Amino acid sequence: MTPLLIVIGIYVAYYFLYRPVSTYWEKMRVPHKSLSLIANASETFFKKPSPAEYSQELYDKFKGERFAGIWYFFAPMLLARDPELIRAILTRDFAYWSSRGIVINEKEDPLGENLVNLSGVKWKVMRSKLNGAFSGRKMKHMFNMLEDCSREFESALRGIVKTKDMVEIKEISARFMTDVIGHCVFGIQIDTLNDKNIEFRTVGKEVFEVTLRIRLLRVIQMAFPNLFKLIRAKVHSKRVTGFIVNLVKDTFKYREEKNIQRNDFIDLLREMRKKEKQNGIKDGVEFNDAFLAAQAYAFLAAGFETSSTTLSYCVHELAVNEEIQNKLRQEIFREKTKNNGIITLDNIKNMKYLDKLFNETLRKYPTIPMITREVTKSYTIPGTDIVLPVGLKCLLPIYAIHRDPKYYPDPERFDPERFNDEVKRERPAHTFLPFGGGPRFCLGARFAEMQVKVGLIKVIENFHLSLCEKSTNPLEQDNTARFLGSKTGIWVRVHPTNRQTD
């Protein structure tokens, strides 16, 4: 009797679970490869390739197609390959794709309710409120604070190279960016460059630790959103949540008691709270402590990890390419001589080669290799009669698009001249998407750019970079990281330069 029940159970599971999923794209008449549940689940959950490699594998699998049907675990997803389709999804038809498709349990996991994850009315309200966070006036104000942090960054590097010339640049860059976020966003000086065990830094690191539990929850969150809601799952630990919420509350209280005004991100949140008290709750969005803390958390998490990764990969490429390094150093010193040895924000805007180098780093090493969008209204794929239902997610393989030789010949070569104005004009739009695109374009992109450029200037004007015994080239991707990351760290040899003659 038992074997018969097992056979019946397998048949029922096949008919009601596997068969509808496996034939999903066939019925939709969307190009796809046959589904192997075991292989797909193994690849998704155990994550053998890194996110960047996974992006590349999917992209290469459907060469010549505008789009294709794939599965994330058991969940069907659309893969968009064509730049025009990507433009439609991100920009032209944004009303149909306004969500990133990330479910959250705000009561159990309040930090999840940040701008990055929000959708619908809450996203519209918060996006409009936060648009002024990085205005030109605020950027100039933050530049001065960033300069203070960069001098500490230089000092920390000098301290390291007094005893050894090999530096793991990712860790010290992450500490530099953490200090910047503390100073510019929260208005506190934390000095993780000199004390890596400060709680602000250890909490930041914990956010990006990918444990077996977190990996499982991320799969459930994307592939089984209803189950994620049902079990009231949360991806942020009690420690991280408590630290961030209390930090924001305490900062609010301190500034109010001392009548402190810094014109920074925290003050922007305070102003939102103040207007709510005066005018009442609008559009059903309440600016309580946890909700405002979630917005500050988003800038902490995104600000230090992605920016430090970009700075580190840029340093690596300059260590590999000495000619490019020297050309950048010459541009830095030319700008310094125009302004009595001082670099200002206007000087940085004038550095065309620095800008090209920054973009080429993001081209070759986009910190977020893939982004998602979710259908919010039934959508017909342009040029077809294929109708995508509400709730279907679409994957945009940024990393793979950035390395498509059709758009970037010899893509493994690091070449800042790809971003000459003339060359850029010849490329299709939406083939360079390091910060996403459309209305959900990264709000902090300008600030991230300023962070990386100021840090890079400080490194190149003071130090000469080269590869060392611990360097790996090409860098091996970390398949446990949520975003782009090097498996063995990013090691370079660092020597102080003679600033008068170099």
In degrees, to the nearest 5, what angle opens at C-alpha 312 toward C-alphas 432 and 173?
A: 125
d(C-alpha 412, C-alpha 321), whole Å: 13
Q: How far is CA 27 from CA 31, 45, 59, 342, 373, in A?
A: 11, 26, 22, 64, 22
Q: How far is CA 404 from CA 56, 59, 241, 394, 415, in A?
A: 9, 9, 40, 19, 15
d(C-alpha 485, C-alpha 11), whole Å: 43
At 357, the amino acid letter reads L
- Here the tokens at position 382 are 């342009």
Sheet architecture: strand order including 393-396: 67-72, 75-80, 393-396, 371-374
Query: 115 with 320: CB under 8 angstroms?
Result: no
Residues 6+ apart with CB under 8 A from 109: 233, 234, 235, 236, 241
Query: 8 with 1: CB under 8 angstroms?
Result: no
Query: 319 with 471: CB under 8 angstroms?
Result: yes
3-state secondary structure of 463: strand
Question: Is 468 one of the annotated binding-site residues?
Answer: no
> What number of other Cβ atoms are within 10 A of residue 202's Cβ?
14
d(C-alpha 454, C-alpha 150), whole Å: 7
H or E stretch including 494?
Answer: strand 491-496
Residues 6+ apart with CB under 8 A from 417: 356, 423
- Here the tokens at position 66 are 């505008």
3-state secondary structure of 259: coil
Q: In 3D, which of 363, 488, 351, 481 has the Cα closest to residue 415?
A: 363
Query: Which residues are paired to 396 by β-bridges?
Result: 371
H-only helix segments in 196-237: 199-207, 212-223, 225-230
In degrees, to the nearest 5, what angle opens at C-alpha 89 toward C-alphas 447 and 398?
A: 55
Known binding-site residue numbers for heme: 442
Known binding-site residue numbers: 442
